[in-house]
Amino acid sequence: MPNEHHTNAKLWGGGFDHGTDTWMDDFHASIRFDRRLYRQDILGSIAHATMLGEQGIIPIIDADAIVSGLRGILADADAGKIAWRVDAEDIHMNVESLLTERIGEAGQRLHTGRSRNDQVALDTRMFVKDACAAAIARLKSLAETMLAIADKHTDSIMPGYTHLQRAQPVTLAHHMMAYVEMLLRDIERFAHARESADVMPLGSGALAGTTYPIDRQRVAELLGFKRISANSLDAVSDRDFALDAMYACSVCMAHLSRLSEEIALWSSLEFRFITISDAYATGSSMMPQKKNPDAAELVRGKTGRVYGDLLALLVAMKGLPLAYNKDMQEDKEPLFDALDTLDGCLNALDRMLATAAFHTQRMSRRASEGFTNATDAADYLTGKGMPFRQAHETVGGIVRACARRECGITDMTLDELREFSPLFDEDVYDELSMKACVARRNLPGGPAAEAVEAAIAKARQRLEAY
Ligand code: ARG
């Protein structure tokens, strides 16, 4: 145990007899991770100082000095020239003390009418707004890659599954479009999260606002915020916007994880529906034949981590009394991690899908095995007048007979089929082809080429809105 306190002078140290222990500095400092907010912090301070000057709260000459000092710090930070200091605790005090070091006394006027509590809320909101926009851009790119695959494969028949058992034929385009729909909803969720972050909290002070005649609307306008927060206590203790963004990340990861699972399955020797490009696959150090879908597996694995990030913040927030509590500093690492992880995963899947080879002939062959036209056989009999329940029963019998003979329904002769029902006719062979089974499902949301083409056009339209 250290027995001497190092006197680390603090911006807030006026009421303290001596400085904090360096161990304590290290324990509670957030600069290690919140340095990432330097741009937001500096831009927020530029807007705040500009408003303070305009309102006559600080001399214009000082406001000008602050703004140009901050611009200099921003340029140096962009150039990687700033050594952030742990003893200055967080990004807010790092920037402020650096500013005062550079421009002298004027720098000491920057924090007038402001607290780190409303400042950190502002910085984090600005960060989330940008990050949601970036996530939307990545989602759009992945959706476009999928749309390009769908464009090419509206006639590529593949087996559709339930319970991982072959069920009914669909097309590769229809399957891709299922994911496009998920991504469109993800985009909507990120747009909502961005909206919920778009509230300007400065003016809330530490918890009870401020006595200075500040202009909150002006700061919102300078920073491009749509609204200002309505309650000072809420504004400094609200992290819903971060939770919204992490929830959007989590649901999106669920979608990416399901896609990854399918990519891994499809690239197995058992399926062989897809070959992942060598550029995004890896080998085994022992087994020379191996080509593993690592990127897909990683996306699947990282999904749990993003859920953990969301849960970490949910739990951190749940018992906090109003208003700000230091627990809330724990928001940043999971927030950054969730957004970074999602970004990497969207990128990985985009690259993997864009370069993968789809083996459509094998998909189509697999679709025609496993009695995926059995429903259509029952529908055929229903069309000839048999009640559906009887038709289901009749086709069940045919399937059992076929399974014994290891053949498909249309491998039976007409006479054999007629033993099950006299309603079968020559046309059954055309009617039960995979092509006919898919084409017949030409309803909105269905797998027929025409329906999927309409879905593709609509999806493109929805994407354009973002
Ligand atoms: N580093 C802090 C955070 O990230 C900033 C706000 C600290 N406020 C305070 N009163 N200690 O939450």
Q: Confirm whether 284 is a catalytic residue.
A: yes
My answer on whether 106 and 242 are in the same domain is: no
Q: Strand locations in 262-330, DSSP E?
A: 274-275
Position 89 in a domain = yes
3-state secondary structure of 165: strand
Active site residue 285: no
Residues 6+ apart with CB under 8 A from 374: 395, 398, 399, 409
User: What CA–CA distance (Å, rounded) separates 35 from 95?
Assistant: 10
How close is the Cα of 115 to the center of ligand 1, in Å? 9
Structural domain of residue 164, as residue ranges? 117-214+223-364
CA of 39 to the centre of ligand 1 (A): 17
Name the phi and psi angles at 210, rounded to 5: -145, 160
> Number of structural domains, the chain?
3
Which residues lie with the beta carbon below 6 Å from any ligand 1 atom?
30, 34, 90, 116-117, 120, 324, 326, 328-329
Identify whether residues 242 and 187 lie together within a single domain: yes
- For residue 445, is it within any domain? no
Select which of 174, 267, 284, 368 is catalytic: 284
Residues 332 and 194 in one domain: yes
Q: Which of 95, 112, 129 is the last residue of a domain?
A: 112
Whole-angstrom Cα distance, residue 164 to residue 341? 29
pLDDT in tens, the chain (466 residues): 554 445 567 888 888 888 888 899 889 999 999 999 999 999 999 999 999 999 999 999 999 999 999 999 999 999 999 999 999 999 999 999 999 999 999 999 999 999 999 999 999 999 999 999 999 999 999 999 999 999 999 999 999 999 999 999 999 999 999 999 999 999 999 999 999 999 999 999 999 999 999 999 999 999 999 999 999 999 999 999 999 999 999 999 999 999 999 999 999 999 999 999 999 988 888 888 888 899 999 999 999 999 999 999 999 999 999 999 999 999 999 999 999 999 999 999 999 999 999 999 999 999 999 999 999 999 999 999 999 999 999 999 999 999 999 999 999 999 999 999 999 999 999 999 999 999 999 999 999 999 999 999 999 999 999 9
- Tokens 């309409």 found at: 454
Dist. CA 448–CA 441, nearest whole Å = 5
Question: Helix 388-405 vs helix 374-383: angle between axes, to the nearest 10 degrees?
Answer: 140
Q: Does residue 438 form part of some domain?
A: no
Task: Evaluate whether residue 456 is within a structural domain.
Answer: no
Distance, CA 14 to ligand 1 centroid (Å)? 18
Q: Say if residue 107 is in the same domain as residue 126.
A: no
Ligand 1 centroid to 15 CA: how many Å? 18
Same domain, 378 and 356: no
- Residue 90 CA: nearest ligand 1 atom is 1
125: in domain: yes
Q: Please name the helix (run of DSSP H) or strand (run of DSSP E) that holds residue 79, with its range, or none.
A: none
Beta-sheet pairing, 357-358 with 274-275 = antiparallel
Ligand 1 binding pocket mutation candidate from 16, 87, 96, 120 (most atoms within 8 A of CB): 120
Residue 389 and residue 247 share a domain: no
Residues 235 and 286 placed together within one structural domain of the fold: yes
End-to-end CA distance of the chain: 56
Q: Specify the amino acid at residue 80.
A: G
| Residue 424 domain-assigned (yes or no) | yes
The residue whose two tokens read 């879905």 is 455
The CA distance from 422 to 417, in Å, is: 8
Is residue 285 located within the same domain as residue 398? Answer: no
**What residue's CA is closest to ligand 1, atom 11?**
326
- Judged by DSSP in three states, 161 sits in strand
11 part of a folded domain: no
For residue 119, how far is its CA from the centre of ligand 1 (angstroms)? Answer: 9
- If one residue of 24, 26, 27, 30 were mutated to test the ligand 1 pocket, choosing by the most ligand atoms within 8 A of its CB, it would be 30
Record the pTM.
Answer: 0.95
* Position 451 in a domain: no
